[in-house]
Structure formats: structure tokens, C-alpha cells
Structure 1
Amino acid sequence: MNITLGPIPFYWPKQNVIDFYEAAQDWPVDRIILGETVCSKRREMRLNDWLEVARKLQATGKEVALSTLALLEAESELKALASICAQDEFVVEANDLAAVELLFNAGKPFLAGPYLNIYNPKTLELLCKDGLRSWTLPVELSQVELADMLAAIQNMNLHVNTEVMVHGYLPLALSARCFTARALDRPKDECKRICIDYPTGIPVDSQEHQRLFTMNGIQTLSGDILDLRRELPAIQTMGVSSVRIVPSQYDMANIISAYASAIKGDLITDMPPSSASYCNGYWYGDAGMAHW
């Protein structure tokens, strides 16, 4: 079972992003997904910058893919999407059906990120006919739904790999409104990209002082961080091809090392601390913030 390093969900300064992926060259990950998935206003990294990072990672033996926005709202965003899908160096991970259509029309195979919302075998079958090679389980589904999907893949003889997110803030929702700008009393069009000041988002607590969510621009993330490290033996036994670790902070070396060790059977050591507490409720069909 392989490890995929998902795209950075937060808005980090360009040099921080470059330093992060230079460090990732030595991490025990097999595939790295690059690109902006949340907000087109985040322009620290342009397509040429992502391509340069991708080439360097590929030269070290990593498999690399470019990801796309999960919510497109403007013609300019469609043009940027077309540029990503038009390049021929790296496979594209689609997070929106507009990307799927562009890649299908170009006759290119593609990956499906968690935002594509594949909930049933019929959808998976249709997308496989369009060129899908790997899909990511929606984060709110449990091990029961995963088992059903894997059984259907086998019964329908679909040639597609399955990936499960095992670490990171859970992507819960996207909105046309920017919550970070709103919280700081700024109009969305005059946000000045203020979310760059919050490298792990803005915590949102209940009146009982329980962390519920994390504001990340137009995206709502979970308050706690998903941790399925101890569930890896079961995930591996089910026949999952790869697990996805989504960056939850600048320094991910110890966290990724813990997952790599767990895949090899070492579950003795404690999970390294991260930028929030951990949760795993969805995996057990429970509230997502629960921790079994």
C-alpha cells in the first residue's frame, strides 16, 4: 500500500511551499499531489512554479500529479483550469466535473480527488469509462461504505485504484463566501489574501469551548485532524491501493514517518503531535469529531 501526499490546503508563502516540497523529496511517500484546490486568489504559486516543483520531485523518483480547484466561479478560473489540463507532463487530479470534461475531451487519463464526491459504483463506472485511473473515498464515508465500493469494483471488474484519506483536516464544505475575510470584517473582493497569515486556518469553537471547525478561506475544514494510523492494517487488508496524508502543518516529517512505520506493522509508538487534536469518527460511522 502506497502513501500519497495530498495538496496543501492552506495558503502558505511561496518560499514555505518550496521548502516544504524540498523536504518532501526525502519523505517515504510514493506520490505527491501539487496545486491549489481551494481559492484562485491564492497566487503565491503559479502554474509554472508548480511545474518546476513537480519536475524536481519527479527527478527524485516521486510520482507527481497536478490538482485542480474544487469550486470554480469565474471565467478566469476556467481558463486556468484549461491550462492545467492542457499540459502533458503530469497527470491531473480532478476535483470538479469541469476538469473531468476537459480531460475526457483530450483523451487523457485522470485521478479523482476527494472533492469529486463519488458515492456509488455507477458513478465510478461512468468515470472509469471517461478515463479515471484512481479515486479517493469521500471523507465522510465509513469502512462499511468503503467495503461495499471495493466489492462492487471487483464484481464490475473496474480497473481503478482506491485511495483513502488517513490524515489531515477533513474538507467539509466550500462556499462562494470567504469565511476568513468575513471573520476579519473584510469584503471578499478586498480580502488582500489575509488567509496567508493563518498557516493552519482559524479555529472555530462552540459556546462550550469545543473546537468544531477550521476556517480556511472559502473552505470549512474539521476542527480536529483525521488520524487513521491505527486503522491502517484493516485498510490494507481491504485492498486499498494507497492512503492519503494531507499536510496539516509546515513540518510533516515525523507524521509521515509514523504512517510509513504503521504500514510496515509498527503501531507501538504514539502518533506525533500536530496542529490540533485527532479524530476518526467517520471511519466508524460515528460523528466525525469522535475519536475511537
Structure 2
Amino acid sequence: MKIALGPIQYYWPRDTVFAFYEAMAAAPIDIVYLGEAVCSRRHELRLSDWLALAAMLEQAGKQVVLSTQVLIESSSDLGTLRRIAGNGRYLVEANDFGAVHCMNGHPFVAGPHLNLYSAQSLAILAKAGATRWIMPLEMSRGGLAALLGDKPATLQTEVFAYGRLPLAFSARCFTARHRNLPKDDCRFSCIDHPDGLLMSTREKQPFLVLNGIQTQSALVYNLVDQFDVMRAMGVDVVGLSPQSALMIDIVALVHAALQGRMRGSDAAKHMAPLMPAAACDGFWHGVPGLDKQAA
């Protein structure tokens, strides 16, 4: 199985982003997704910057995929989407069906937010040009197994295996609202929270993470101890979501588990102190997402 690094979900300064990908260029990663998938108001990097990073990573031997926004809200968003879809060089991750339409039959990756839950849906996307699909984040192992038996043979499967789960998107910016600011004058508040803004319950239990217009899980989804199961099922790629610190160490542990140099359960133990929050894996096991099942 290959390792994919998903798009950065958070708003980081430009220099931080470039330094991050320079480090990732030397990491044992096969696929890198690039681009702003959350909010079009984030302007630290322009499309030209993402393309420069793409060229650098491609030269380092990575397969580069340009990610599209999940929620398209304006004509300028649509213009950016069309430029990404028509880039002519790199594969594109389509995160809404408008992006699928813009691909005009060219190869693309069907992102997790397309909500593909049936073999018939996968067949339609494959016919439209999809070469890989990313399993919906809340799909269980049993649901995936049922689909893999009937999916088109040409369609690769990727499973989100590490990171905070992006659960929902809204036209409202929750980080700005937290500061009593309107969305149109958000003052780019989310740049102050490199791993999102934690929201806890009245009982002081971690509940959700606010990331601009995106709502994430407070806990970190971690399936490193399930790689043998995935391999037996026929999964082709495991996906990791970037975090602001210690990502290179996370990648090294994931790679060691995939290569059989470390047991998945041991890798999970070593990852625990490197994570921004405790682990969960409930969705994979068909139970509430915030649960953690015993390995």
C-alpha cells in the first residue's frame, strides 16, 4: 500500500507551508495532495505557489494531486476551480460534483466529500474519469468490504487513516464567530490556530475542533493498527492529514508499520505522544466515531 498526504486543512503562514513541504519531499510518502480545500479567503498561497510546490514535490518523486474546495460559494471560487481542473499537468482531487463536471472526462481522484456509498456510484464516477476514490470518512470496515467486491477494477481505493476528521462544512465561519467577527471581516482568525480551535463540553471534555467554515473531530482518527486488515481487503492507499508539528515522525511510524518493521499496535503507542489529541477509530468499527476500540 502507498502513503498519501492529504491537503493541509488549516491556515498556516506561507513560509510555514513551504518549510513543511520541503520536509515532506524527503519523507517516505508516495502521493501529496496540495491546495486550499477549506476556505477561499485564505490567501497566504496563490495557485501559482501551489504549482511551484507541486513541481518541487514531483521532482522529489511524489505523485502530486491538486485538491479543490469542498464548498464553492462565489464566482471567484468557480474560476479557481476551473483553473485547477484545467491545469493540464497534475491529477485533481474533486471534492464536489461541480469539480467532477469541470474535469470533462479527464482523470481525477474522487474525494471523500462526494459521499460515495454504493458500487453504482463508483461505476458512474469511474466512467466520468475517476482513477481513485477516497472512502467516506464515516464508512465502516464492513461497508467498505461490501463495496470493494463490486467496484470497477480500474478504480483504486484510498482510506483516510490518520488525522482529525473533517466532519462538516458551513457557509458560516465558526472561528470568526468565536471572536464575534463577521465572516467578511474575519481578520483571518484561523491562522492563530495551526491545528484548529478546540471546543469542549461544559464537563471540559474535548468535543469538536473549529477550523474556519469546517468542523472537525476533536480526537485524532488513527487506523495504523488496521493496515494488515486493509491490505487483505485490497486497499491501495492510506491517507494522512497534516498536523502542524511532528508530522515527519508520524509519517516514519506509519511507513514502518506498512513495511512490517513495526507492529501496528506498537506504532499506535509510539504515535500517541506525537498527536495533538487522543486517538479514536469508532467509524471504522461501525460504532460512534469518538470511540476507541481495542486493537
Residue from 119, 122, 125 that aligns with 1:124: 122
2:270 paired residue number: 271
2:242 paired residue number: 247
Matched, 1:22 2:34: no
Give distance in 2, aligned partners of 1:113 and 1:3. 16
2:211 paired residue number: 216
**Conserved in 2, the CA contact under 8 Å of 1:5 and 1:245?**
yes
Is the partner of 1:222 in helix, strand or coil? strand
Is the partner of 1:271 in helix, strand or coil? helix
Displacement of 1:271 = 3.0
Q: Give the alignment of 1:159-198 within 5 angstroms.
A: 159-198=154-193
**Conserved in 2, the CA contact under 8 Å of 1:34 and 1:50?**
yes
Percent identity, aligned pairs only, is: 41
Residue from 142, 145, 153 that aligns with 2:143: 145
1:20-68, CA deviations, whole angstroms, 9 ceiling, x for partnerless residues? Answer: 0000011111000000100000111100000000000000111111000
Is the partner of 2:209 in helix, strand or coil? strand
Which amino acid is 2:287 matched to?
A: D
Is the partner of 2:103 in helix, strand or coil? helix
2:63 paired residue number: 63
Is the partner of 2:101 in helix, strand or coil? helix
TM-score (norm 1): 0.96
1:79 paired residue number: 79
Give distance in 2, aligned partners of 1:262 and 1:288. 23
2:89 paired residue number: 89
**Conserved in 1, the CA contact under 8 Å of 2:12 and 2:191?**
yes
Give distance in 2, aligned partners of 1:43 and 1:249. 18
Give distance in 2, aligned partners of 1:95 and 1:76. 17
TM-score (norm 2): 0.95
Give distance in 2, aligned partners of 1:246 and 1:72. 21
* Equivalenced residues, count: 287
Is the partner of 2:150 in helix, strand or coil? helix
**Conserved in 2, the CA contact under 8 Å of 1:249 and 1:275?**
no
Which amino acid is 1:40 matched to?
A: S
**Conserved in 1, the CA contact under 8 Å of 2:110 and 2:125?**
no
Give distance in 1, aligned partners of 2:223 and 2:230. 9
1:139-171, CA deviations, whole angstroms, 9 ceiling, x for partnerless residues? Answer: 101100010110111xxx441000000001101
Structure 1, 227-236 or 261-270: larger mean CA deviation:
261-270
Unmatched 5+ residue regions in structure 2? Answer: none
Unmatched 5+ residue regions in structure 1? Answer: none
Displacement of 1:249 = 2.3
Structure 1, 204-213 or 15-24: larger mean CA deviation:
204-213
2:288 paired residue number: 287
**Conserved in 2, the CA contact under 8 Å of 1:125 and 1:158?**
no
1:226 paired residue number: 221
